[in-house]
Chains A and B, each alone.
Chain A
């Protein structure tokens, strides 16, 4: 490997070393290294709060091709702690782009490394599970870096959601067009597209911090409650789960990703950390009700354990890759949730019907 001035070294907690070059300038960062197989959508992915604190590895080897496009962010900043790519494309080309990826990362102080054998790293993580890593452009001693990687807190049991949200106080986001219903949305680190999906269907969204109490959630007398995605281990969020329990049954509730896991926990299910999670835009999920297959956008490292589903909670969606739980429905409590991302961004738009169903059902109630 070349040891030029831009040298950057990644060492994993198991001591594996990967060399590259920075394309964003100097820096050091620790985090869990996760790979995403989505071939487009680096901008959405990097700004997705669920990736907060993680070092994001893109399996697609060319990143930066179309630059950064205004309006395609999922939150106000780059959430990933570090970026690993095979080749960074310095000359971006797209009529809509106004900035290069490198300049965005530099502005936000996020280290980007190129020249990594990303496929080898992916296979390493696939076989051994997601693990912590440490990137440095200054220090290249692998023992030192390994220690630093190991010093970083493990994802298991890590509460990132409490600080995942950018929201400090309730904010009303009115429906696009005529209001059909009102939703109280608990923000644990929400992707902006989710609110766009809800609002474009006529829902006014009152976004409230994920730390809100049950009373605060129900204070606005919403027609429905939404539980957002977010980073970290759901099992670490006991308080949030307890908060949800009295809400369930009061108001129809819909959760996505972390929201799904929290809902599951509140219903009495258990969650667990997956070996290397699901991160990509090509996972087939079967809707068990219609038997149709959706190609889904996925980003989660934890999942609800199927065997733990109590009576009264039904499995609605299943991942066809590994059979894991992708959706839950509790008819008695009128709550439902999906593990994957129907708002896509990035990814296929096969699952928008979930927003239709949610908004439709609570709007009926609102009319009634």
Chain B
């Protein structure tokens, strides 16, 4: 069927800020879809509140709204843009749910917007467990016995009937949020009550558990002509019971015979037809009996998903792009396969390699939560690796994880993030395969493969022959692995390997196992006889990506890398991307001239460099992962473009940097460097409390704390990693009550371009990634801003920055001090680029290949609008964690709000971050003693805005003394409705709670957890409260501008 000509404009909804369960994969799919639809000549209207996405770049869609993903906002966009159609299947669960809301609210009918891809009916059939179960019954497929319940009694009845273990899944939630397994009545009670709370429709599915069964996923595509293809099969190494997002997975399926596989394939086709997904991709999950023919259908996602992004990267079949084309009428056979160009998309990719995905966790940032994996997703990112054998692909994937050995705490007995390492250890200790299987239910195929690795580790001894070393490399062992098992250094292994002439070859991902010539250069390394890279004569530049998403290093860095590739291609270079993260736009084979899907380790990067012979390597865009390779690459003679490794070191080494600041006459907080625990406390006493303590060279404020007294410092010294001359601890004077300011700038060695200045909403002490910020600044005098700009220039030249840099300042009164300088892309680069219309990373890339700032048109401005960035936290997934802001970063993503006023922009950003400010109702205030004075005006402002005020006893006293009408809420545990009960009963619409004291289980902690559970916005700083008042005021007084596209914002300025 040909392209539809009866529609002209299409609305695409993105997935909003990065949260656990919904990450960069939807930027990848959304960007592909926008491009595909524009290529077809449709007008694409996009809405997404996440500025760190490529899809929200103004060139990607015709009209781009960086606005909150709420019913009201999107309805307003529809009113304004009158799209002919809405494509709801590319923005994850967020877009799907929002589309249902738009339908239910009558918006789609009112404005005659056609839903493409999937009808409301089919979405509901797939999403509503009961309807899904009925649908599966109709086509004779089994689902685990289950029932949707609305209360505990119903769950108990079912448990009595079908027995334990049971899985409890709340309806309509992200990433299996709220899902858990119950083995007895106590667990059932907790799970069901928690699940009812988590479900927006207050129902949970109680289901027979098939924990321990094998788990498979199939990625299915269907077109309007009812052609169906299976793009990829995926086998989970971790059996049922672990959320698939948290499982190690392998593509294609490894342990099914043809008959067993075809049974699942045929079932998938029946399922997509029965559910009625008309066009596009779906993901179907199966549980397969490890001991017989039986299998269950677990669930179906009627949209592109994390797994479909993985399947696209694993096969070279661009699911989202094809899905977009199918949605506008094409059939699969009318769409060419990009990679072969000679064959149509109506086929099933054949792989001649093995793909392994391993999730990346950050439990270490949430002490108090046991690192145990369940049906609820906890990982924040993932890596993918490609190898010719499972062992090679597994080892490459493990190498891509960039784990800190200190965080690895493997346990074999229950699912946990490091269980794969426990399997290695058990085998090394001599445990046999059946025993490990009995403990883990991991299929013996995988355990036996790991046993081969373990055997291989031990086989190299004495003088290495070429044959032995080659075997080890074919197995997938890295130089680093070999160095560790043979007690030498990586450099020695590398030297021996080179001397023996052992180098990897690069093979293509071509969708067809070599049957047809591939046109798209998408490569992976392996030790074989033939290399397929078609290098050509054009000069190339290698861009190192940012590896797995994790807290502190997220999609923002991938955004910068993608821009680097675009700028290189614009400049006439072959852009060569090296990255290991399957979720991202950077690993789309379309983004760069050549893509090497490889771990970001020195070994793999050096080999790519050896193969490519590039003009240079760019490592300042990918965050710490590439940056930490700088020295080693330089020593190996690699030309690093931009800021030199020595300059990077100058900025990162506290002593060198301190001396530089003194030389440049730039004020900075006092600091000290301690090599022993005793020195830490000595330095702290010298500086005077409070101090900031942290290990040197950390990412995302890892193990960084603000310490107010000796007791806390002792605790820090004892609980944190040991301090040594090699791993010193940095102690800084803490600049209490200062305002923090971030600057992103580009330097070409002759000029400095200030990309933007951002003022933090929260006071200094909150990690810059976790604080809200606004640009342009709102409370800083012009003279101070000029001084900030002056210091930025001095530092840029002083450090020797060429390319991007980020500087953090603190400001109070007349003081401006520098606290940190990072000569690399920062997390705020995409935000600033969106706020000003100047794509900073692209500008920086051009500088790296020799263009001068003075020759560029850098007419960005923030005139007429304020932009606010608000972080999003995963606290709701980590039980028993205090949702407080601090120096250790814990946010997973951010949302952006743009408006004419700061208040409006702040309110929009908070709404987009899921913390919608109320416009009326009751605010509960409970603050620390140090904040009692300042809270009075805040409370009065709330009262003036029409809020009823309730407060804890102490805070209430102060407010009453100041003439404010206040209801006193009893302390937790006292008679009457205490604050926890009030939150639960809906009697609190907003909470202002500043922390005091330390440790878990304080009242403040319980209040914050309760707020989180019930979705009540909770503000934990007075600065945040002040900003919230401005936001609420904007909302009430109608000060918020209606929706406004980015394109209009930039045109307005020009």
Q: State the A residues within 8 Å of B (CB).
A: 1-4, 18, 35, 37-41, 43-44, 59-62, 65-66, 69, 72, 86-87, 89-97, 117-120, 122-123, 126, 280-284, 286, 291-293, 295, 320-321, 344-350
Contact = CB atoms under 8 A, between A and B. Distances in A.
Contact of A284 (B252, B333, B444, B449): B333
Interface stretch (B177-185, B509-517, B845-853): B509-517
B467 interface: yes
B350 interface: yes
A351 B253 CA distance: 23
B512 A344 contact: no
A72 B528 CA distance: 33
Contacts of B258: 38, 40-41, 43-44, 72, 344-347
Nearest to A58: B352
A342 B470 CA distance: 43
B257 A119 contact: no
A118 B352 contact: yes
Nearest to A87: B389
B229 interface: yes
B444 A320 contact: no
B1010 interface: no
A3 B269 CA distance: 48
A72 B256 CA distance: 13
Contacts of B261: 40
A95 B295 CA distance: 14
B490 interface: no
Contacts of B507: 119
B346 A59 contact: no
A137 B825 CA distance: 57
Which of B253, B292, B352, B470 has the largest count of A CB atoms less than 10 A from its CB?
A: B352
12 contacts: A40-B252, A40-B256, A41-B258, A91-B433, A94-B257, A119-B352, A120-B528, A122-B515, A280-B350, A282-B349, A295-B229, A320-B333
Interface string B341-353: 0111011111111
A2 B352 contact: no
Given A119-B352, A119-B528, A291-B225, A65 B259 contact: no
A105 to B, nearest CB: 17
Given A62-B354, A65-B254, A86-B389, 20 more contacts: A2-B467, A4-B467, A40-B257, A40-B258, A40-B261, A59-B352, A60-B252, A65-B255, A66-B255, A89-B448, A91-B448, A94-B257, A119-B530, A122-B352, A123-B530, A281-B348, A293-B332, A348-B230, A348-B262, A349-B265
A41 B257 contact: yes
Contacts of A347: 258, 262
B996 interface: no
B62 interface: no
Contacts of B343: 284, 320-321
Given A37-B513, A347-B262, A348-B265, A66 B443 contact: no
A144 to B, nearest CB: 21
B459 interface: no
A286 B343 CA distance: 13
B337 to A, nearest CB: 10
Contacts of A18: 529
B226 interface: yes
Contacts of B655: none
A293 B227 contact: yes
A60 B262 contact: no
Contacts of A295: 229-230, 346-348
Main secondary structure of the interface of B (DSSP, over half): loop
Contacts of B291: 95
Q: Which of A91, A118, A293 has the most CB of B within 10 A?
A: A293
Interface residues of B, number: 62
Contact of A93 (B227, B443, B471): B443
A126 B257 contact: no
Contacts, number: 180
Contact of A126 (B331, B333, B351, B516): B516
B389 A117 contact: no
B522 interface: no
Given A93-B448, A293-B227, A126 B389 contact: no
A122 B265 CA distance: 27
Interface in B820-866: none
A95 B292 contact: yes
B352 A126 contact: no
Interface in B331-378: 331-333, 342-344, 346-354
Nearest to B468: A2
B445 interface: yes
B255 A86 contact: no
A117 B347 contact: no
Contacts of B779: none
Contacts of A62: 254, 354, 389-390
| Most chain B C-beta atoms within 10 Å of own C-beta, residue among A2, A39, A292, A348 | A39
Contacts of A65: 254-255, 445
A292 B252 CA distance: 26
B456 to A, nearest CB: 13
Interface string B730-751: 0000000000000000000000
A72 B260 CA distance: 11
Interface in B289-347: 289-292, 331-333, 342-344, 346-347
A61 B390 CA distance: 9
Contacts of B331: 293
Contacts of B265: 348-349
A39 B253 CA distance: 9
A350 to B, nearest CB: 8
Interface string B489-523: 00000000000000000010000111111000000
Contacts of B433: 91
B887 to A, nearest CB: 47
Interface in B236-277: 252-262, 265-266, 269
B388 interface: yes
Nearest to B1: A291
Given A2-B470, A66-B257, A349-B262, A95 B514 contact: no
B423 to A, nearest CB: 14
A61 to B, nearest CB: 5
Contacts of A286: 333
Contacts of B388: 61, 86-87, 119
A76 to B, nearest CB: 18
B467 A95 contact: no
B344 A280 contact: no
Given A61-B389, A91-B433, A295-B347, A69 B259 contact: yes
A94 B255 contact: yes
Given A65-B445, A123-B530, A347-B262, A292 B225 contact: yes
A286 B255 CA distance: 31
A347 B259 CA distance: 9
Contact of B445 (A40, A72, A93, A96): A93
A39 B348 CA distance: 11
A3 B347 CA distance: 40
A316 to B, nearest CB: 16
Given A62-B390, A69-B259, A122 B514 contact: yes
A96 B265 CA distance: 19
Contacts of A118: 352
B445 A91 contact: yes
Contacts of B260: 66, 94, 96
Contact of B513 (A60, A89, A284): A60
A214 to B, nearest CB: 36
Contacts of B344: 284, 320
A37 B291 CA distance: 28
B351 A39 contact: yes
Interface string B437-468: 00000011100110100000000000000010
Contacts of A280: 350, 513, 515
A62 B225 CA distance: 35
5 closest A-B pairs (Cβ-Cβ)? Answer: A41-B258, A91-B448, A120-B530, A346-B258, A2-B467
